[in-house]
Structure 1
């Protein structure tokens, strides 16, 4: 589903901000859209981002769809992540977006607020689209301001990926309910017993900081702004600088040098926060054994976690809302689609697809078991939909935090810069 926490964040980082302001009312309402092919068959356009392997799987699912729905043809387009959003911005601004797109929570309010995305609720009410059978409340993931702007195809959650051999050598055993104090003590023990930094350095990851805030009753975002203060963030970044200097966090210069490879896979750290479905990259990049550890907590119980998801969204300008609904419904519910896609985009979102796919490899089994565990533990909460401009703000967070890591700005200077850029982003997208 994603390549790496740094590369994927950077991609999430740059993409849809610059040209979106041009969308405005030009993207609203009904109008252009897909035409019909010969023989009376309707043609819809479906666009997504990803690599060749995902394209191969998706094309296989489309072949299956067209066999079962011969009067609906699907024209496909896929791009690398950043190129996808640049192209989509251009298409939407010109009034000719694809009928269906792969989407992410960062962009829901941005495009939903400009009426680029289709409200799927009428299709649910007409019976053309089902919101039944989703795992852990995922059917509500894309509900924004009373509209249903997408349906999830898969889920993931933040996790802590560890080098199991390093943890075993240091005698540290993460367990559900361990606290941040336990985590810090574990890093210190790892550093002293193995010489490996305990952590890559999570302070540039927006979703890690969101967990920290949610455990304290706050969140990174509210519905229309930031959910924390300057002093909150300065405290976080000042502590990160101390841990870098003490060797508990990996030398940031080394982290930059090995990108896009993960620091944990490279043996530079014992663990790092990332999405659980990224686990697949560690076995392919590294030479150790890697596992998914629970998120540390403030009080021993509240982790602040939620299920994130990629989703399928229709666009408001489509001439074929019924066919769009039929396509999305098939892609999120059909068991054979689940067997074909596997965990390419995360753990399958609907029960039918989840049960249809039986993972055989170690990594997929780990991911599946982890999501079962956090659901059973009852720690999952509801994500706050990101406000418009969230993608630009996430980019700023990563960039400014990296400047702190590399000693190019003090924590106080960096916080002022970040809040200023966030205010600009909110203003530009209001």
Structure 2
């Protein structure tokens, strides 16, 4: 989730989730990826996805860990999002995934179902890993079916990124608790005054639709199925397509043309929903000033928000469970690690690391202030664990929503197609 809907994720989810073919996983007991040596030193493999800045920072944290634990060596493996999950699936099918790896809620049940993920409560009970001092209930993001399948390293929540100059010129001031009607009225004002679209394409973002459903007493997922009806989704996509035709939502063809830039930073629209810690991308891409605004609501209060997270998971068949747990504990609690990583993977998840890092740039200061405001408002709920197959469904939602936006598929047909693909994904 933590990198969900980033530039990288928007483009590669299609590739990762488009195929319903999943490899049958081999038995995973006793096949850890780590190794040992005659002097008692062990080596564990640590894999993650992300760009070069993340890799540089993580390698610094590994050096700190190896200094504190000289008998544990860490072999880094990193790549981009798409290649990571393709490689991981192959490794898992052969019973040789990394000992420790970056993970998200989308994949917890999928790989737990296949016997890949360690229940980290066992290592917490053994005293090798602390589950204390996680902020705002984010530890629950790594839980499913009574197990602790991941330990959060960062937290983020959905936000509305706005072009501050455009909103100011239009005289629009977002406020906490504003309704969807007020949001769309604001976009209409922007369109009328500035002659640009108000939004880049909100209705193909699965996690935003999840918030909308939660505002209305539902959720995108139940424990084993979709938590809404075809009629619910048809209405959501009908409303979205109507706003594309009216110009309130940007022309999807123009959005495609400016990729990998965002439609927001390219000046095609004045706002875009995404994860709050992704907001730094807009300053790098665009020529305006950007900030975070509250999620619109149905009732003037409940935003449906929760904290998502990138997390660390462990291979249940590792030969070095204690050392793996010590590594995860260090990476999630050590203050120096927090200073090095900053908000690269979201707001730091534990109080030790959160208090150790003080953001100095406006973007990270804004993310911190936004999450503190959301937490203080008391609207944060618990994330709903995603069923196995959620990665396929997320990709389908993005793809099919894009077809609706382009007028290629009628909303009712699109909803039927999404439900059909979800049924196949759940059975996979």
Q: TM-score, normalised by structure 1?
A: 0.97
Q: 1:68-87 counterparts in 2 under 5 A?
A: 68-87=68-87
Q: Distance in 2 between matches of 1:27 and 1:179?
A: 51
Could you list the runs of 4 or more consecutive aligned residues of structure 1 that deviate by over 6 angstroms after TM superposition?
Answer: none
Does structure 1 conserve the Cα–Cα contact (< 8 Å) formed by 2:359 and 2:365?
yes
Partner of 2:204: 204
Deviation sequence 1:5-38 (CA, Å, 0-9, x none): 35413434432675873334x2443334311135
Is contact 2:215–2:297 with CA below 8 Å preserved after alignment? Answer: yes
Conservation of the 8 A alpha-carbon contact between 1:41 and 1:73? yes
Q: Report the CA distance shift for 1:140/1:421 in structure 2 as closer, same or farther (over 3 A).
A: same
The 5 Å alignment of 1:29-48 reads 29-48=29-48
Q: Is contact 2:32–2:317 with CA below 8 Å preserved after alignment?
A: yes
Who is 2:406 aligned against? 406
1:26-425 map, 5 Å: 26-425=26-425
**1:108, 1:302 → 2: CA distance?**
27
Contact 1:4–1:281 under 8 Å retained in 2 = no
Kept after mapping to 1: 8 A contact 2:18/2:395: no
SS of residue paired to 1:184: helix
Q: Does the 8 Å contact 2:105/2:385 carry over to 1? A: yes
Partners of 2:332 and 2:366 in 1: how far apart? 22
Contact 1:4 1:262 in 2 (8 A): no
Whether the 8 Å CA contact 1:106–1:386 is kept in 2: the answer is: yes
Is the partner of 1:15 in helix, strand or coil?
helix
Distance 2:70 2:17 in 1: 34
| Cα distance in 2, alignment partners of residues 65 and 175 from structure 1 | 44
Higher alpha-carbon deviation: 407-416 or 43-52? 407-416
Measure how far apart 1:333 and its partner are: 0.1
| Shift in alpha-carbon separation, 1:36–1:132, aligned structure 2, 3 A | same
Given that residues 306 and 382 in structure 2 are in contact (C-alpha distance below 8 angstroms), is that contact kept between their aligned partners in structure 1?
yes
Secondary structure of 1:219's aligned partner:
coil
d(CA) in 2 for partners of 1:309, 1:93: 25
What CA distance in whole angstroms lies between the structure 2 residues aligned with 1:47 and 1:33? 11
The alignment of Structure 1 onto Structure 2 pairs a total of residues equal to 427
Q: Deviations over 1:339-388 (max 9, x none)?
A: 00011111100011001000000000000111111000001000101000
Tell me the distance in 2 between the aligned counterparts of 1:164 and 1:399. Answer: 29
Q: Secondary structure, in 3 states, of the residue corresponding to 1:265?
A: coil
Secondary structure of the equivalent of 2:47? strand
Distance 1:17 1:243, change over 3 A: closer
Q: Judging changes above 3 Å, is the alpha-carbon distance between structure 1 residues 63 and 17 closer, same or farther for their aligned structure 2 residues? A: farther
- Offset, 1:4: 5.7
Calculate the aligned-residue CA RMSD, in Å: 1.4
Residue 104 and residue 17 in structure 1: after superposition, are their counterparts in 2 closer, same or farther (change >3 A)?
A: farther
Q: Distance in 1 between matches of 2:227 and 2:303?
A: 17
Q: For the residues of structure 2 that align with 1:330 and 1:17, how far apart are their CA atoms?
A: 36
1:127 positional shift = 1.2
Query: How far does residue 150 in structure 1 lie from its aligned partner after superposition?
Result: 1.1
Query: Structure 2 CA distance, aligned partners of 1:397 and 1:256?
Result: 17
* Alpha-carbon shift at residue 2 of structure 1 (Å): 4.0
Task: Answer yes or no: is the 8 Å Cα contact 1:16–1:85 preserved in 2.
Answer: no
CA shift in 2, pair 1:58/1:19, >3 Å: farther
- CA–CA distance in 2 between the matches of 1:13 and 1:371? 30
SS in 1 for 2:76: strand
Aligned partners of 2:76 and 2:366: how far apart in 1? Answer: 32
Q: TM-score normalized by structure 2?
A: 0.97
Matching residue of 1:14: 15
User: Are the aligned partners of 2:100 and 2:324 in contact in 1 as well (CA < 8 Å)?
Assistant: yes
Aligned mates of 2:248, 2:351 — CA distance in 1: 41
Structure 2 gap ranges (5+)? none
- Unaligned ranges ≥5, structure 1: none
Partners of 2:33 and 2:344 in 1: CA distance? 29
Distance 1:133 1:17 in 2: 38
